[in-house]
Amino acid sequence: MQKSSKALTAFALLVYLFILVPMLIITISAFNAETYITFPPIGLSLRWFANIFSVTMFIRTFKISMQIAVLSTTLALVVGIPAAYVLSRYRFKGRSILESYFLSPVLIPQIVFGFSLFNFLIIALDLPVFISLFLGHTVFILPYIVRVISSSLANFNYEIEEAAISLGASRAYTFFRVVLPNISSGVIAAFVLAFINSFNNVPISVFLTGPGVSTLPIQMMSYVEYFFDPTIAALSVVLMVLTVIIMFVIERTLGIAYFTRNAKSGGQ
Amino acid sequence: MVLLKLENIQAGYDDNIVLDNFNLEVQEGELVSFLGPSGCGKTTTLRVIAGFVTPDKGKVYFSGQDYTPLSVHKKNFGFVFQSYALFPHLSVYDNVAFGLKMRNVNRPEKDKRVKDILEMVGLERLIDRYPGELSGGQQQRVALARALVIKPDLLLLDEPLSNLDAKLRLQMRREIKSLQSKLGVTTVYVTHDQEECFSISDRVVIMRDGKIEQYDSPEKIYDNPGTSFVAEFVGFKNFFDCTFNQDNLVDLGGVKFEIATERIMPSTRGEKEITCGIRPGDIELISKKEADKTSKMNRMSGEIMLSTYLGDEYEYVVAGEKQEIIINCPSDTKIKQGEKVELYFPPDKLIGVK
């Protein structure tokens, strides 16, 4: 028992190292004083962090990426929550087809999906770049939302909904005041997952970006094609820190309260 | 006065028809129970009454009005679910106050009614707790309080005690009965537990395959079960296939049995082949001395095959002339396995059913 747990610890440590070492290398090389990425770094400097803000395209595309992520995640939630609810609550014709559509985000290669969206949104419909990005990302993250909310609804006892209705609540009131509060941790999880997926996306964005409108990941890629200085490493560090802060805030404000409440109601 | 009336109801799920041509009347103030095995349609009937299931055909009347097209949230019915279905995100107070909030009851009155009903179910101290922090019995009380606080026109309970342990079940059923009679609310109660059902009901509906087998007071059903299905539910364990000889004489493969006329149920009318039943405790053992004195009627001999100890009695499985018979005898004497016995079936204890 002791032996195997030691081996397991060692293995787990290796896995962690494998995941963390690249990030560690990026973080260290972000403080490099030289004009190219080296490891171990030569000298110590914060100039590349300052340089992020001197590249105006980074600031502009960061704003666009945030806008796209917030807007498309919001729209996907507005569409996805009712869709997940109907799929889990009712039995109807074509349900399994809809379900397999919503639950298969990984089946179509994203590059293919991006190309089809490009043909449809930009070529056929001739939509502006920003709108195309917004709609494209919404469609792409919708399955994630439906999947996460569905699994949250799978644990929801629909007799609770019937109880509210029997006490005089309308269907709409019941949905917003009884069903939604009980799947709120699922909604938050879905929001975070969809937001990160949208913010990180390259294969779809690469087709939908156009003159003047680009997303941060695309901008970072094209920067790396022309410059080999550690600015990208510094930007990566900033993004990692931002993610950690967001996760920490969610955990502190919503996370703990929701998890304890769910643990309580799970005990009944 | 008839408060609730189901008329020619047909209902089911998808292609599966559970109730067909179902009729029922419930008087005001009554506690009526539906008793039957799982799948007999008792819960479906309750859901039709509540409005969760819309019948394909037929009508539901409530105090003379057609309630069939009325949506659930417009009826003033209280429903208690098997899973209690408390709102996990609301405190005990908010759970109970939910129905009052929907009725726009003002704050002071809401507070008072919630406190009163929680006092009645003995939970006033737990008013700020959340459902996840309560025991099963406490959750059950909250569910009951939540359904009663709206002063429902009708209280519907779907197997409310089946998730509780045996001791708590006894206590809760007494409390439900006393609350129900104190508030005078007409109640429909679904259960599969015969004892629970008989102990609290004014009248019992025994259901089988979506049909009513018998609808009567518990006492009448216990004494005079109308069919062999009902008889089985109320403790009859021995059944014999017989043919009618005369009015109250039946023939069981050569053995003649007399049955008291009032114990031959109307369901046998016009039938030649009937079923005779008797409870294990109603069969008498005849000692060798008496055996020759009494008549040969209503008697059968057999051999003890198996004995089980039930505390205050023994239960014996007897190999009879035609079939196995189960008898219960007081535990002061034990009969050995393999011993021959003579059994007597009193005419007023036998029943004749279809």
Domain extents in chain B: 2-223, 228-353
Instruction: Spell out which residues of chain A touch residue B46, defining contact as CB-CB under 8 Å.
Output: none
Confirm if B78 and B154 have CB atoms less than 8 A apart: yes
Q: Which residues of B39-73 are buried (b: 16+ CB within 10 A; e: fewer)?
A: ebbbbbbbbbbbbbbebeebebbbeeeebbeeebb
* Per-residue pLDDT at B213 exceeds 70: yes
Contact A167 B99 (CB under 8 A): yes
The number of helices, as runs of H, and strands, as runs of E, in chain B is 9, 20
Topology of A55-266 in CATH?
Answer: MetI-like fold (1.10.3720)
Question: How many C-beta atoms surround the C-beta of residue B319 within 10 A?
Answer: 14
Residue B123 in tokens: 């939970």
- The reply to whether B228-353 shares the fold of B2-223 is no
Strand order across the B340-344 sheet: B284-286, B340-344, B299-309, B313-319, B324-330
Nearest residue in A to B13, CA atom: A91
Of B50, B85, B102, the CB nearest to A157: B85
Asked if the C-beta of B210 comes within 8 angstroms of chain A's C-beta atoms, the answer is no
Asked if the C-beta of B61 comes within 8 angstroms of chain A's C-beta atoms, the answer is no
More confident residue, A126 or B114: B114
| Mean pLDDT for the stretch of residues B145-160 | 94
Picking from B133, B56, B58, the residue whose alpha carbon sits closest to that of residue B88 is: B133
pLDDT of residue A43: 79
Residue B111 Cα, gap to closest chain A Cα (Å): 17
Q: For B285-295, what is each residue's pLDDT tens digit?
A: 887 667 666 66
Instruction: Spell out which residues of chain B touch residue A167, defining contact as CB-CB under 8 Å.
Output: 73, 78, 98-99, 102, 146-147, 150
CB pairs under 8 A between A and B: 85
Contact B132 A167 (CB under 8 A): no
Contact A159 B87 (CB under 8 A): no
Residue A178 Cα, gap to closest chain B Cα (Å): 7
Q: For B32-90, what is each residue's pLDDT tens digit?
A: 999 998 889 999 999 999 999 999 999 999 999 999 999 999 999 999 999 999 999 99
Asked if the C-beta of B160 comes within 8 angstroms of chain A's C-beta atoms, the answer is no
Collapsed DSSP state (helix, strand, coil) of residue B214: strand
Q: How confident is the model at residue B131 (pLDDT cuts 50, 70, 90)?
A: very high
d(CA A113, CA A108): 7
Contact B89 A169 (CB under 8 A): no
d(CA A32, CA A47): 9
Contact B86 A268 (CB under 8 A): yes
Asked if the C-beta of B134 comes within 8 angstroms of chain A's C-beta atoms, the answer is yes
Collapsed DSSP state (helix, strand, coil) of residue A207: helix
Q: Provide the residue-wise pLDDT of chain A in tens; the chain has 268 residues.
A: 456 688 899 999 999 999 999 889 888 888 888 877 777 778 788 888 888 888 888 889 999 999 999 999 999 999 999 999 999 888 888 888 888 887 766 678 888 888 988 888 888 888 888 999 999 999 989 988 998 899 889 889 999 999 999 999 999 999 999 999 999 888 988 888 899 889 988 999 988 888 878 899 998 988 888 888 888 888 999 998 988 888 888 777 665 555 444 444 433 3
Confirm if A137 and A204 have CB atoms less than 8 A apart: yes
pLDDT of residue A248: 82
Of B83, B99, B131, the CB nearest to A168: B99
pLDDT of residue A138: 93
Q: What is the CATH number of domain B228-353?
A: 2.40.50.100
Contact A168 B103 (CB under 8 A): yes
d(CA B270, CA B260): 18
Tell me the ipTM for this assembly: 0.83
pLDDT of residue B127: 93
pLDDT of residue B140: 92
pLDDT of residue B291: 65
Q: Measuring CA to CA, how many Å separate A259 from each of A7, A161, A194, A263, B133?
A: 32, 21, 20, 6, 15
Nearest residue in B to A161, CA atom: B85
Asked if the C-beta of B146 comes within 8 angstroms of chain A's C-beta atoms, the answer is yes
d(CA B188, CA B141): 17
pLDDT of residue A259: 46
* Per-residue pLDDT at B270 exceeds 80: no
Of A165, A173, A265, the CB nearest to B88: A265
Q: What is the CATH number of domain B2-223?
A: 3.40.50.300
For chain A, the domains span 55-266
Q: Measuring CA to CA, how many Å separate A210 from each of A130, A204, A225?
A: 9, 12, 18
Cα-based angle B335, B338, B342 (whole degrees, multiple of 5) = 65
* Per-residue pLDDT at B282 exceeds 60: yes
Nearest residue in B to A170, CA atom: B73
Q: Which residues of B113-148 are buried (b: 16+ CB within 10 A; e: fewer)?
A: bbeebbebbebeebeebbbbbbeebbbbbbbbbbbb
Collapsed DSSP state (helix, strand, coil) of residue B190: strand
Of A169, A171, A182, the CB nearest to B88: A182
Q: Which amino acid is at A141?
A: I
